[in-house]
Structure 1
């Protein structure tokens, strides 16, 4: 397969030198984007970084730099419907997917390109938020990861008691009534980090990281994404129910959960990890949704634990 270079915004990524991005054509149609970085010298393997909803490759440039310092190559992906990947609706600000398992077409395209690029093995995967749901299914179905890890994985979605029935009604009945491409009530088409002040945000307690995210979207507005569609919400809820019914895979797992998590369902994460025989759950005191985007005194130990976890499962 001939490599197809894709835009890569190094001015805001902050990744290690030598990063490159490529377009990937999925077997069912949408074009997605992948970037990869290698450390200096021999690598201890490659970390597949599976981002969350609304995210994009450049957001994880600093994470790639951290892993490069620890001797790992890393890749990240723009899922269909976000980043610079093909947007799936006429309104590009709405996050959408027809079926949640469609993301596995993206996963297979990434695996094929990683194979073609001969990215160092063993391969490991980190799934953040929505990427945690995609990554769980990938671990179950793909069989190519020596170990897995998750940060604030979307194995359930958090709703307030008031919003839970309304959100489910909108997701299922709204989609059934032909409103699947509309957004749920009370949501916005503006990017969260550009519309929400740092104070009381649900992502990070580190003002420097929050500003980094704001600067990335201000500098490159095409990366921005707003609310999900009703259909995306229906599909996400169905996928969460599916994965919670699955037996835990044999793959060794390390999961991080912020104690102040307000986006995904903490109970679902605790329940899943309590039944993962080769799994460990680490709860981060005062942590928000994005433990990889917290201050250095939080982020550093998390990355050290991830590196140690991967190194202990190199066979």
Structure 2
């Protein structure tokens, strides 16, 4: 396997100096970007599955925090966002034709992660839309020792009356040629550039919010705005499909901000209540992005994630798994 170097905007990615980005090609020919941050003496690798609108540079800080705790990390630009192939003639929107296509992206990146010999065991973290992709992946046998999720999109926070309208619109619009249009109340502008810090639904940490805004300002090619009606149809379909499937036999730790407003918290509670050995943590005074909350919250979340990974690998805190000790 030959990996082609891809751009990594180091000026906005506050990660370890080891960071490198690569292009990979999914089975259907779509070009995907991912970034890898190796870590000397790593006890394993975190596979970070980002959310909708996100890009690998946004997780440079997370790579730094995991490296400080002894873990390497990779992050993915899903098709339709970041520097991966865009899927709509209007590059401002987030689009996918079939939610299962994201699994093709994950498969291509997993092949590359193996080629790079990233340290095992591997552990997946799925955030928001990446939580749906990640859950679907582990249900289908993703080769990881454990799973973790932050604000996972196992349902979308929509009022019941609006939900039925949304379903109808999302199903009908693509059939009549409007699948690339935005749902009502969404916009073409990227959320962080159009929403002031006050009352934003992502984080209560102004510095992190300012970082996100500065990243988009420096590299507007990373930005996308609202999702298309086809994306909404696919998101509603996949979350309903997965709700009917049993949880995999895999250690799982899930975090949800106490002030979560983007994803359906009831769906998360239901899933985690039926996950054997799974744990749900409600993070006080936190919004959707607990990995980008105030420093004290971030520190607690990262510490708990690493303890979860260590335990799943059969190692004590800060110790290498037995299979990795040589």
SS in 1 for 2:74: strand
Matching of residues 1-315 of structure 1 within 5 Å = 1-39=1-39, 41-161=40-160, 163-314=162-313
Q: Any idea what the Cα deviations from partners look like across 1:233-292, whole Å, max 9, x if unmatched? A: 000000000111110100100000111111000000000000001200000112100000
Tell me the TM-score normalized by structure 2.
0.95
Q: How far apart are 1:18 and its partner, in Å?
A: 1.3
Q: How far apart are 1:302 and its partner, in Å?
A: 0.3
Q: How far apart are 1:307 and its partner, in Å?
A: 0.2
Q: How far apart are 1:177 and its partner, in Å?
A: 2.4
Find the aligned partners of 1:277 and 1:297 in 2 and give their Cα distance.
29
**Range with greater deviation from structure 2 (303-312 or 156-165):** 156-165
Q: How far apart are 1:163 and its partner, in Å?
A: 3.2
Q: How far apart are 1:2 and its partner, in Å?
A: 1.4
Find the aligned partners of 1:2 and 1:199 in 2 and give their Cα distance.
46
Find the aligned partners of 1:236 and 1:298 in 2 and give their Cα distance.
29
SS in 2 for 1:303: helix
Find the aligned partners of 1:93 and 1:166 in 2 and give their Cα distance.
24
Across the aligned residues of Structure 1 and Structure 2, the Cα RMSD in angstroms comes to 0.9
Structure 1 runs not aligned, ≥5 long: none
SS in 2 for 1:12: coil
Find the aligned partners of 2:164 and 2:236 in 1 and give their Cα distance.
13
Q: How far apart are 1:185 and its partner, in Å?
A: 1.4
Q: How far apart are 1:74 and its partner, in Å?
A: 0.1
SS in 2 for 1:236: helix
| Cross-structure match for 2:318 | none
Find the aligned partners of 2:175 and 2:219 in 1 and give their Cα distance.
35
Q: How far apart are 1:71 and its partner, in Å?
A: 0.2
Find the aligned partners of 2:107 and 2:88 in 1 and give their Cα distance.
23
SS in 1 for 2:176: helix
Find the aligned partners of 1:206 and 1:160 in 2 and give their Cα distance.
27
SS in 2 for 1:247: coil
Q: How far apart are 1:161 and its partner, in Å?
A: 4.6
